[in-house]
Each structure stands twice: as structure tokens, then as C-alpha cells.
């Protein structure tokens, strides 16, 4: 039985470990014993407590594994992946770190390693869908609207974070890169808000965030953008916090102490944004692809609406993100995707059979993407 090690046992990490433990020998590693306890108690999963911020620790743990799943916080992701590659082990990563993953391509190539990065819902499935269709058509326009939200709208933010508030805040600060008329342009995060109507939810607010990531490297597509979805009003509240300094990482003096406003704000938001253990939430995404195939113009629309799974007590964000990564892991372990180096999901989409396999894996877990072609 092949061996998989999961680095990071947060909400999404747990879902991935549980999904894979029936078919593989799974070890889950986290620095918090409490995060590992449910996996140890209820499933055939080996658990280890370790400080994953230490690269030498990660390299040592990875050695001898058949595949690593990276699910650490974004600020740790790049160095953690580098440590895994140093060990010469294949990896599927969902840490969504801010650094350019291709900075590690030479290392991955030298070690003969397949490293699938950004393998979640968006980035992730959005990239996969684009890569798949680019095989058969010339794409002129790509638009992705995506968000994860609680069903119950609690004032004032009407939002709950499926991961660390620090990672969410980073999305609201990092400049958003888009493609317009064939050129990369930069807009502030939270800019160009617009109201959109998406079934079955209704009116949501879409605004710019830096979600295209590795898709910016795809040539020949003149217009591409990704926007984050929230309930109306959330964008303005976050702009107020950002523009008044509450999200700054520049330390300030307060009663003789030096504190980071961003870390303080994150600590305050954590209990307000934390999803309840069985709190219902949903993931919603709309993708539009327009262009031309050999026989004429084409427009493809994909829609995802996924909700908390009461039967397995698994959040929608964990399902849509984690099961994309576990589907990719199965392809790598089976040798069906063996491209070496750093491989964003658009590479998977371009590989014959991979798109269909991942869609089938997701559908088997009741994560359903509807597709309309015009």
C-alpha cells in the first residue's frame, strides 16, 4: 500500500486525510495535538506532532513517502514545499502561498519530482477547466467568480473563514493582477465591486482579488479575471479596516508595547469568523469561457453550488478544495500524471484523461459542476 503524508491537519487537511485513508497508508502531521485527535480516534490514520515551520523537519518526515499533501498556512507554504522537493518526493499542495511557485521549478526538475500546486477549487478547478478547454479552442475571455459563505448571515461581516483570518486578510491586501487586452494590469484588492445574481443564492458582491496566479503565464488569452464573492456590504467593511490601518503589518506603539495591527485584527476576527463545528456554509463558483473552436464560436459556462455535508459533517470548502487535491493525488500515485517540475492545475487539465478523472472523482463525492455549452 502506498504511503501518503499530510502536512497540516486543519479543516481541509482532515477532509483529505479521511478521503484517502481507505485506499492508502496515511500519516497526518500537525503541531497541534488537538487537531490530530479526531483523525487518530476515528480513522486508520497515523498521527505525528511536529513543528512544520522547520524545513529540516519537513525534509526528514517526507523521506520515504510516496506522496506528500501540503496543507499548511500560506505564509509557510513555499518553504514547506521546498523542503518536500529537497527530499525528492512527489507533492500535491493547497497552501496557496504568495510566492511564485516556479521559483522551485529547477529544484523539482533536478529531483525528478511532480509537484502539483494551487490544487483547490479556485485556484485549482478554475485552472483545470481552462487548461482542458484550451486544448480544443482559442480562448478570448475567461472569468471566474468564486466564494465560500455561511448560510446564516451574521452582522456585520456576514462571513465565516474556513481557514486562518490572516490568509483571508492577505487576499484583501495583495494587489489583484488581471489580463486586459493581452496585458497584465494591476488593480487594488477589493476594487471594482459589482453585484451579480447567482442561483440559488441570489444577489452577491464580486470584487477583485489576486486569484489568477499561474494563469497569468498562459499566453494568447487577451482577457482574464477572477473575482471573490461575498454578501453585499462586506467589501466596504474590509476597505474601511484596510484604509484606516487595522490591516497593516507595520508595528505600532501602544502603552509601551509594539504590536502589529494585522495580527491584532486577526485575533479579534478569529472568534467572529470561525465556522461552528456543524455550521452550514456553501461554495459557489461561476466560470465563463468564450472563444472559437475549429467549427465556430464557443461559450462554456460552469457552475458550482456545494453545501455542508451533514452526513459526513464536512464543510463545503473542505470538500470542494480537499477532494480536488485528493483526486489529483490519485492521478500522480497511479502514474497517470507524471510531468516533472512545478505543475499548476492547468497542466493537469491539458493532460489527456485527467480532467475527466478529476470530474468523476468529485461527482462520486457529490461535488457537482454543471456545464453548459453555447
CA angle centred on 64, ends 60 and 65, rounded to 5°? 100
21 — pLDDT class (breaks 50, 70, 90): very high
Residue 30 φ/ψ region, left for φ over 0, alpha for ψ in the -120 to 50 degree band, beta for the rest = beta
Q: Which CATH superfamily is domain 125-307 in?
A: Dihydrodipicolinate Reductase; domain 2 (3.30.360.10)
pLDDT of residue 150: 95
CA distance 302 to 151: 22
Cβ-Cβ contacts under 8 Å for 186 (sequence gap 6 or more)? 175, 176, 177, 178
Average pLDDT of span 343-371: 97
Of 90-94, 154-158, 271-275, the poorest mean pLDDT is in 271-275
CA distance 210 to 227: 8
CATH class, range 3-120+317-367: alpha beta
pLDDT of residue 72: 94
Length of the chain: 374
Mean model confidence pLDDT for the chain: 94
113 — pLDDT class (breaks 50, 70, 90): very high
Handedness of CA 70, 364, 148, 129 (dihedral sign): positive
CA distance 153 to 236: 16
Cβ-Cβ contacts under 8 Å for 214 (sequence gap 6 or more)? 101, 102, 117, 118, 123, 127, 344, 346
> What is the tens place of the pLDDT at every residue in 22-51?
999 999 999 999 999 999 998 999 999 999
CA distance 349 to 99: 23
pLDDT of residue 74: 87
Point out which residues pair with 68 in neighbouring strands. Answer: 5, 91
pLDDT of residue 165: 78
Please state whether the peptide bond connecting residue 156 to the residue before it is cis, i.e. omega within 30 degrees of 0. Answer: yes
> Where do the structural domains in the chain lie, given as residue ranges?
3-120+317-367, 125-307
CA distance 43 to 67: 19
> What is the tens place of the pLDDT at every residue in 293-312?
988 999 999 999 999 999 88
CA distances to 149, 276, 316, 346 from 236, in Å: 17, 25, 26, 33
Extended beta strands in 60-121, E state = 67-70, 91-93, 114-116
Does the reported pTM lie above 0.85? yes
Judge whether residue 3 has pLDDT over 90: yes
| Cβ atoms of 33 and 49 closer than 8 Å | yes
- The set of cell numbers assigned to 153 is 448571515
> What is the tens place of the pLDDT at every residue in 129-152?
999 999 989 999 999 999 999 999
Q: Which residue has the cell 522537493?
A: 85
Judge whether residue 95 has pLDDT over 80: yes
Please state the φ and ψ torsions of residue 92, each to the nearest 5 degrees. Answer: -120, 125
Judge whether residue 15 has pLDDT over 80: yes
| Cβ atoms of 69 and 28 closer than 8 Å | no
Judge whether residue 164 has pLDDT over 80: no
Average pLDDT of span 82-94: 97
pLDDT of residue 148: 95
pLDDT of residue 256: 87
Q: 352: which DSSP letter? A: T
More confidently predicted of 143 and 1: 143
pLDDT of residue 170: 86
Cβ-Cβ contacts under 8 Å for 249 (sequence gap 6 or more)? 260, 261, 262, 263
pLDDT of residue 270: 87
- The set of cell numbers assigned to 225 is 479575471
Average pLDDT of span 73-87: 95
pLDDT of residue 42: 86
Average pLDDT of span 267-283: 89
Q: Which residue has the cell 494590469?
A: 185
pLDDT of residue 331: 98
Judge whether residue 162 has pLDDT over 80: no
pLDDT of residue 2: 96
| Cβ atoms of 74 and 170 closer than 8 Å | yes
Judge whether residue 217 has pLDDT over 90: no
- The set of cell numbers assigned to 85 is 522537493
| Cβ atoms of 224 and 253 closer than 8 Å | no
Amino acid at each position: 500500500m502506498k504511503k501518503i503524508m499530510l502536512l497540516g491537519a486543519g479543516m481541509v487537511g482532515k477532509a483529505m486525510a479521511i478521503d484517502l485513508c481507505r485506499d492508502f497508508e496515511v500519516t497526518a502531521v500537525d503541531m497541534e495535538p488537538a487537531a490530530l485527535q479526531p483523525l487518530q480516534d476515528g480513522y486508520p490514520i497515523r498521527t505525528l506532532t511536529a513543528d512544520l515551520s522547520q524545513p529540516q523537519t519537513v525534509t526528514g518526515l517526507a523521506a520515504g513517502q510516496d506522496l506528500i499533501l501540503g496543507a499548511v498556512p500560506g505564509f509557510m507554504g513555499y518553504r514547506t514545499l521546498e523542503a518536500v522537493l529537497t527530499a525528492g518526493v512527489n507533492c500535491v499542495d493547497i497552501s496557496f502561498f504568495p510566492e511564485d511557485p516556479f521559483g522551485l521549478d529547477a529544484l523539482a526538475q533536478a529531483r525528478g519530482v511532480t509537484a502539483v500546486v494551487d490544487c483547490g477549487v479556485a485556484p485549482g478547478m478554475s485552472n483545470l477547466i481552462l487548461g482542458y478547454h484550451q486544448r480544443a479552442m482559442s480562448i478570448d475571455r475567461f472569468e471566474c467568480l468564486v466564494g465560500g459563505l455561511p448560510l446564516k448571515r451574521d452582522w456585520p461581516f456576514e462571513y465565516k473563514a474556513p481557514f486562518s483570518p490572516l490568509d483571508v486578510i492577505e487576499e484583501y491586501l495583495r494587489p489583484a493582477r488581471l489580463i486586459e487586452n493581452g496585458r497584465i494590469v494591476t488593480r487594488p484588492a477589493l476594487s471594482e465591486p459589482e453585484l451579480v445574481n447567482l442561483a440559488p443564492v441570489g444577489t452577491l458582491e464580486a470584487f477583485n482579488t489576486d486569484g489568477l496566479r499561474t494563469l497569468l503565464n498562459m499566453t494568447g488569452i487577451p482577457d482574464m479575471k477572477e473575482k471573490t464573492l461575498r454578501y453585499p456590504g462586506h467589501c466596504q467593511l474590509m476597505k474601511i479596516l484596510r484604509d484606516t490601518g487595522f490591516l497593516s503589518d507595520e508595528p505600532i506603539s501602544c502603552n509601551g508595547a509594539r504590536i502589529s495591527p494585522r495580527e491584532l485584527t486577526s485575533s479579534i476576527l478569529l472568534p467572529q469568523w470561525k465556522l461552528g463545528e456543524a455550521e452550514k456554509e456553501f461554495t459557489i463558483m461561476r466560470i465563463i469561457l468564450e472563444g472559437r473552436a475549429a467549427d465556430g464560436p464557443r461559450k462554456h459556462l460552469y457552475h458550482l453550488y456545494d453545501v455542508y455535508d451533514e452526513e459526513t459533517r464536512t464543510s463545503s470548502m473542505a470538500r470542494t478544495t480537499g477532494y480536488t487535491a485528493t483526486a489529483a493525488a490519485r492521478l500522480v500515485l497511479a502514474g497517470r500524471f507524471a510531468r516533472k517540475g512545478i505543475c499548476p492545475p492547468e497542466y493537469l487539465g491539458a493532460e489527456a484523461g485527467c480532467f475527466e478523472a478529476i470530474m468523476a472523482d468529485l461527482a462520486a463525492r457529490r461535488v457537482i459542476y454543471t456545464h453548459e455549452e453555447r
